[in-house]
Amino acid sequence: MRRFMTRVRQAALPLVGGLLLISAPALAQPTEEGTVITNEATVSWTDANSNTYTPVTASVDVTVGFVSGVDVSDPGAAAPNPGSSGNTLAFVLTNTGNGDDSLSVAETISTAGITVTGYDLDGSPYATLALLNDALAATLITLGNSVTVTVTYSVGADQGGITTNYTLTADSRRGPAQDAQLVPITPGLTAGVTVTPDAASVDRLPSPPNYTETFTVVNNGDGPDTFDLVASSNPAEITIVSVNGVAGASTSVAFTQGESIDIDVVYTVIAAAGASDVLQLEATSQADGLVTDTGDVTVNVIAGATLGIAKAAFRDDQSTPVAGTVDPGEFIWYRITVTNSGDTNATSVVVTDSLPDEVTYDSNDDDAGSPAWVITTPAANEVEATLTTLAFGTSRFFWIRVQINN
């Protein structure tokens, strides 16, 4: 016959209705530290004459040592508001070893998106992790029991949609047991965008060349976002060539929180002078398709420069118009006037005057305006005058002095 005896330390068990209630231990619970396990063996026998002898017993005791164990519960993913404070994560730290133990904790934060502002151990607050660990060192956790560590944190105002991983690691102070729990913290993203200019206006000649309008797009949401950019025109008097360097009328651009980017829209004007069109750039958040804004510029199609030229003859005093006849050998002045009656400035204006054979070139003079005329005589009895710019709605003139041939 074999007998097995175990002596186990046991807490007082409750009596209900005069009955002693004994709860069956959980199957996963290890044998408690300090438990003495006694193993006893007995031998009995008889001799050849059937005489019975007193049995002889031998036993051996073994004592259960300590094995550490710890479990950190998962408080679940967190979704606080950007720019918020007082957010909390509650971790339950359980002693899963086979004896009394105390714990220490460490934390890892993947980004600077959150800032831990304090800790709490079963209702007692601590300002720093070091102070929390001092309190944990003084807290004995009996086997199977737990404590709750609450972490309080704040979230940056620009962290919408950005995940920060917070990891709490607990270590047994008596043994090598360790457990960790990673919690993803993802603040909700509130999208926002503005596109300017609004209701601007610009005058353009019919193409060619291509024209460029620059719109400014600002991500004024509370986190990074990508915006779909679509250029359009109404009533389609212009053709979109590219948006932000991408051929076609649409593209997508990623923005950091608060970032402002100038977006160039390249287009051609296909309408005739007198028409107008509204060029638009619409930006739509990919995080929230309902968040959108549109900038617009009215493109007025105008006529180009229209130049006219007039020529008059004056006596040598440059003030008396020639009336009647002139005498051989007399000096007179020709005044050449150029007028821009169009809608835009004229550039590289060149006036060529091939003087008649009956006169001989003597000199020239300008109107003292700005920019100055550049007057040359590329050939005998030929005068060429150039002007870099002639503004629309203005006139400029220069003089040529000649002598009537004898």
What 3-state class would DSSP assign to 136? Answer: helix
Per-residue tokens: 326: 């002139």
How far is 93 from 105, CA to CA, in rounded Å?
10
Q: For 146-176, how does the pLDDT look when each residue is reduced to its tens digit (9 = 90+)?
A: 999 999 999 999 999 999 999 999 999 999 9
Q: For 113-147, how does the pLDDT look when each residue is reduced to its tens digit (9 = 90+)?
A: 999 999 999 999 999 999 999 999 999 999 999 99
DSSP string covering 206-243, please? SSSS-EEEEEEEEE-SSS-EEEEEEEEEES--EEEEEE
Residue 104 pLDDT greater than 80, yes or no: yes
For range 75-88, the mean pLDDT: 96
405 contacts 328 by C-beta, under 8 angstroms: yes
pTM over 0.75: no
Cis peptide before 235 (omega within 30 of 0): yes
Instruction: Give the per-residue pLDDT at 28.
Output: 55
DSSP string covering 244-300, please? TTEESSEEEEEE-TT-EEEEEEEEEE-SPTT-EEEEEEEEEESS-TT-EEEEEEEEE
Q: For 354-380, how does the pLDDT look when each residue is reduced to its tens digit (9 = 90+)?
A: 999 999 999 999 999 999 999 999 999
Domain ranges (residues) in the chain: 2-63, 70-185, 193-301, 307-404
Instruction: Give the per-residue pLDDT at 394.
Output: 96
Instruction: HSE, CB side, 13 Å, CA atoms: give it for residue 6.
Output: 10
Would you identify the CATH topology of the domain 70-185?
Immunoglobulin-like (2.60.40)
Instruction: Give the per-residue pLDDT at 344.
Output: 83
The mean pLDDT of the chain is 92
Instruction: Give the per-residue pLDDT at 21.
Output: 37
Per-residue tokens: 353: 């005057």
Per-residue tokens: 237: 């008097």
How far is 110 from 108, CA to CA, in rounded Å?
6
Name the helix (H) or strand (E) containing 137.
helix 129-137
Instruction: Give the per-residue pLDDT at 303.
Output: 82
What 3-state class would DSSP assign to 342? Answer: coil
What 3-state class would DSSP assign to 347? Answer: strand
Architecture of domain 307-404: Sandwich (2.60)
24 pLDDT tier (thresholds 50, 70, 90): very low
257 pLDDT tier (thresholds 50, 70, 90): very high
1 pLDDT tier (thresholds 50, 70, 90): very low
Lowest mean pLDDT across 25-39, 58-72, 121-135, 251-265: 25-39
How far is 36 from 169, CA to CA, in rounded Å?
33
Q: For 281-322, how does the pLDDT look when each residue is reduced to its tens digit (9 = 90+)?
A: 999 999 999 999 999 999 999 888 889 999 999 999 999 999
Residue 74 pLDDT greater than 70, yes or no: yes
Per-residue tokens: 209: 């060349």
103 contacts 136 by C-beta, under 8 angstroms: yes
For range 313-337, the mean pLDDT: 96
Q: How far is CA 193 from the centre of its chain?
A: 11
How far is 60 from 6, CA to CA, in rounded Å?
11
DSSP string covering 75-121, please? ---B-PPTT---EEEEEEEEE-SSS-B-EEEEEEESSTTEEEEEEEE
For range 110-114, the mean pLDDT: 95
Q: What are the distances in angstroms from CA 109 to CA 18, 104, 116, 181, 184?
A: 55, 17, 9, 12, 10
Question: Can you give the length of the chain in residues?
Answer: 406
Instruction: Give the per-residue pLDDT at 115.
Output: 98
Residues 6+ apart with CB under 8 A from 396: 337, 338, 367, 369, 373, 387, 390
Write the CATH number of the domain with boundaries 193-301: 2.60.40.2310
